Amino acid sequence: MIAAVYQSSGDADVLRVLEIATPSPGPGQVRVKLAVSGVNPTDWKTRRNAGPPRGQPSVPNHDGAGTIDAVGAGVSESRIGERVWLLLAAYNNRWGTAAEYSVVPADRAVPLPDSASFELGASLGVPALTAWLCLRVGGHPAGRAVLVAGGAGAVGRAAIELARYLDAETVIATVSGPEKARIAYDAGAQTVVNYHEPDAARQIIDVAPMGVDRFVEVALDQNLELDLKVAAPHAVISAYAGNESTRAILPVRELMAANIALRFLLVYKVKPSELTAAINGVSEALKAGALTTPPLHRYPLVRIADAHDAVEHGAVGKVIIDFQPAQAGNEPPSTESALGS
């Protein structure tokens, strides 16, 4: 098969596109023929900072969609031919989705309804599960008024759609400009506020006079002051993004006085029961038609370095690696073997 691999951490140029042996599924695993691979910030961050699992040559990317073509021992053969979306494919696993085939534990390949495109399936995984977990803190309802920071991002857009699906009364998004505002409105936000505007807090309170009680927060260090200006008592602020240098100054007394809870979330570190609940919730929302395909940036596999860089540099919309149509004009990949079977 043709795959992107990397053997060490670093810039996107550590990625190589090679012909390697197609893996076979082991016990409890399935093999998926990929149609689309989704690229997330966690993919380039892992590549740059942590490197491949256990330091061995590995295929990156957590998310994707395709069709199961083989199963390992203990998995029903009835799953062969099933359309699926993948989650956490590269987590503690050599076989991420940036390849023609991925091998994953069977529970990381989730049935994809015929009504959902492979592009939509590859846009779920990290973004939709993160959004669900931020909204359904401890299994509770999404909240009366929801504020989604960064409403045009992959998580933000999914959070808007899921908040509407979960019957939030008011869904507000913050963005940095008109292009992103259009994406947030298209996703279903009833109010979109440019957080750079000096009266951003007033605009939010105008539509949520009792305050916001659920926050899906992409930049706690930058947005906490605004969040606290508009938070209702007992609000929950769920922060899901940051890096090693991210620091937030917490006004402890202000948080205490309103009984506001801060929650921090990485989807691949949640309890198994929480992840299962999120998978089930996203699957039901998908069946209900509540989740839609975001604006797409398509790349062929030979340009995976460009795809990773696009996400790192803040591409607006979803970056995907598309295996479906033949990409004319691409140079052939190297035939060097890096991984073995």
Q: Write out the chain in H/E/C secondary structure.
A: CEEEEECCCCCHHHCEEEECCCCCCCCCEEEEEEEEEEECHHHHHHHHHHCCHHHCCEECCCEEEEEEEEECCCCCHHHCCCEEEECCCCCCCCECCCECEEEEEHHHEEECCCCCCHHHHCCCHHHHHHHHHHHCHHHCCCCCEEEEECCCCHHHHHHHHHHHHCCCCEEEEEECCHHHHHHHHHHCCCEEEECCCCCHHHHHHHHCCCCEEEEEECCHHHHHHHHHHHEEEEEEEEECCCCCCCCCCCCHHHHHHCCCEEEECCHHHCCHHHHHHHHHHHHHHHHCCCCCCCCEEEECHHHHHHHHHHHHCCCCCEEEEECCCCCCCCCCCECCCCCCC
Residues 263 and 143 both lie in one domain: yes
Residues 136 and 263 both lie in one domain: yes
Residues 244 and 301 both lie in one domain: no
Residues 100 and 133 both lie in one domain: no
Residues 137 and 57 both lie in one domain: no
Residues 101 and 221 both lie in one domain: no
Cα separation, 64 vs 322, in Å, equals 10
Nearest Cα residue to 54 out of 9, 22, 88, 21: 9
Q: Is residue 274 part of a domain?
A: no
Return the C-alpha torsion angle 41, 47, 48, 52, nearest 10.
140
Distances (CA, A) of 327 to 18, 230, 301: 16, 48, 9
Cα separation, 90 vs 58, in Å, equals 8
pLDDT confidence of residue 54 = 73
Q: Is residue 207 part of a domain?
A: yes
Residues 117 and 132 both lie in one domain: no
pLDDT confidence of residue 325 = 58
pLDDT confidence of residue 218 = 95
Angle between helices 272-287 and 154-165 (to 10 degrees): 70
Cα separation, 107 vs 302, in Å, equals 29
Q: Is residue 70 part of a domain?
A: yes
Q: Is residue 83 part of a domain?
A: yes
Q: Is residue 337 part of a domain?
A: no
Contact 30, 13 (CB under 8 A): no
Q: Is residue 288 part of a domain?
A: no
Q: Phi and psi of 263, rounded to 5°?
A: -130, 140
Residues 196 and 263 both lie in one domain: yes
pLDDT averages per 10-residue partition of the chain, 341 residues: 94 94 97 98 91 82 98 98 97 95 98 96 97 84 87 96 94 95 96 96 97 95 96 95 87 94 93 95 97 95 97 93 63 40 36
Q: Is residue 277 part of a domain?
A: no
CATH of the domain at 95: 3.90.180.10
Q: Which residues lie below 8 Å from residue 318, measured CB to CB, with a gap of 6+?
A: 38, 119, 122, 123, 154, 293, 294, 295, 296, 297
**Token pair of 219 as six digits:** 């930049």
Nearest Cα residue to 287 out of 128, 116, 83, 64: 116
Cα separation, 29 vs 109, in Å, equals 9
Residues 309 and 246 both lie in one domain: no
pLDDT confidence of residue 245 = 84
- What is the domain range of residue 75? 2-123+293-322
Q: Is residue 331 part of a domain?
A: no
Contact 322, 300 (CB under 8 A): yes
pLDDT confidence of residue 341 = 36
Residues 230 and 182 both lie in one domain: yes
Question: Global pTM?
Answer: 0.91
pLDDT confidence of residue 59 = 96
Cα separation, 208 vs 217, in Å, equals 17
Residues 115 and 132 both lie in one domain: no
pLDDT confidence of residue 242 = 84
Cα separation, 50 vs 338, in Å, equals 19
Number of structural domains found in the chain: 2
pLDDT confidence of residue 38 = 98
Residues 81 and 173 both lie in one domain: no
Q: How many residues does the chain have?
A: 341
pLDDT (tens digit, 9 = 90+) per residue, 35-64? 999 999 999 999 998 878 776 889 999 999
